[in-house]
């Protein structure tokens, strides 16, 4: 069966520090991968998605970047965190090219920038 | 591009009462539609999905949703709410012509009183 791992679960970082959140999927190959951010009153905002290694689509201009160095690994990064980067970050995967299938989510990372 | 609106930010119901959560989408054809539930601090769990066929879809935990093309809606219903249904609910839309994106609404927080 497929599983998705996301870490860390919680993170407190000072303003201006770098960020690296990691997400890995097991039990499937060539998945679509997604990073979402959940902030109060804004629902789930799609940040990035990827259809393959090195292929990243950005949905919202921001202080963050994403990379996919391996087929089942998706990393969310920032060089210098802002207060506004605080939120709950969720990684998800879907079967590639099958839009009628649901996304499967990790447990999320609660990021607090102080 | 597809989009989705959940007009109700917060809904409060009594245990045993019926529930309807609204979801309206914007897309030129029949989209793929999903409802997810999120417990506090957790990832998202799929309740049900629609992509074709019978417009009334049954999901887990006694939930159902009806696709109405004329109203561009996909409302979630439950005949009798349990206290354990208190959570945040998200509607999501995917497009058959853009199978990679999955866009979520802002969510509806459900509170259940005994």
Predicted pLDDT at A97: 67
Q: What are phi and psi of A106, to 5 degrees?
A: -80, 180
Extract the tokens encoding A20. Answer: 């690296």
Task: Write b or e for each residue in A71-98: b if 16 or more Cβ atoms lie within 10 A of its Cβ, otherwise e.
Answer: ebebbbebeebeeebbbbbbbbbbbbee
Banded pLDDT at B94 (limits 50, 70, 90):
confident
- Give the domains, in start order, of chain A with CATH numbers: 3-113 (2.60.40.10)
Which residues, at least 6 apart from B57, have a Cβ–Cβ distance to it below 8 Å?
Answer: B48, B49, B50, B64, B65, B66, B67
Report domain extents, chain B. Answer: 3-113
Identify whether the C-beta of residue B33 lies closer than 8 Å to the C-beta of residue B6. Answer: no
* Residue of chain B minimizing CA distance to A31: B100
Task: Find the CB nearest A46 among B41, B99, B103.
Answer: B103
Q: State the average pLDDT over residues B32-55.
A: 91
Predicted pLDDT at A60: 80
Give B77: exposed, middle or buried? Use CB within 10 Å, 0-12, 13-18, 19+. middle
CATH class of B3-113: mainly beta
Closest CA of chain B from A2, distance in Å: 15
Chain B positions in Cβ-Cβ contact with residue A5 (cut-off 8 Å) = none
Predicted pLDDT at A13: 97
Predicted pLDDT at B31: 86
Identify whether the C-beta of residue A74 lies closer than 8 Å to the C-beta of residue A61. Answer: no
Task: Verify whether the Cβ–Cβ distance A98 to B99 is below 8 Å.
Answer: yes
SS3 of residue B112 by DSSP: strand
Q: What are phi and psi of B78, to 5 degrees?
A: -150, 130
């Amino acid at each position: 069966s497929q599983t998705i791992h996301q870490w860390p679960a919680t993170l407190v970082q000072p303003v201006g520090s770098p960020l690296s959140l990691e997400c890995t999927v097991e039990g499937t190959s060539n998945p679509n991968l997604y990073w979402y951010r959940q902030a109060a009153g804004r629902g789930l905002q799609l940040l990035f998605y990827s259809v393959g290694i090195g292929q990243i689509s950005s949905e919202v201009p921001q202080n963050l970047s994403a990379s996919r160095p391996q087929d089942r690994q998706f990393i969310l990064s920032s060089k210098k965190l802002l207060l506004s980067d605080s939120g709950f970050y969720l990684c998800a995967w879907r079967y590639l090219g099958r839009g009628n299938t649901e996304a499967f989510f990790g447990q999320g990372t609660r990021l607090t920038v102080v | 591009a597809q989009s989705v609106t959940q007009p109700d930010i917060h809904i409060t119901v009594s245990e045993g009462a019926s529930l309807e959560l609204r979801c309206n989408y914007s897309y030129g054809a029949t989209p793929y539609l999903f409802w997810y539930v999120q417990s506090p601090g957790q990832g998202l769990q799929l309740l049900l999905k629609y992509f074709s066929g019978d417009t009334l879809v049954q999901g887990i935990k006694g939930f159902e949703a009806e696709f109405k093309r004329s109203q561009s809606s996909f409302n979630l219903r439950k005949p009798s709410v349990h206290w354990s249904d208190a959570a945040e609910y998200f509607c999501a839309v995917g497009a058959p012509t853009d199978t990679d994106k999955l866009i979520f609404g802002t969510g509806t927080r459900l509170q259940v009183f005994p």
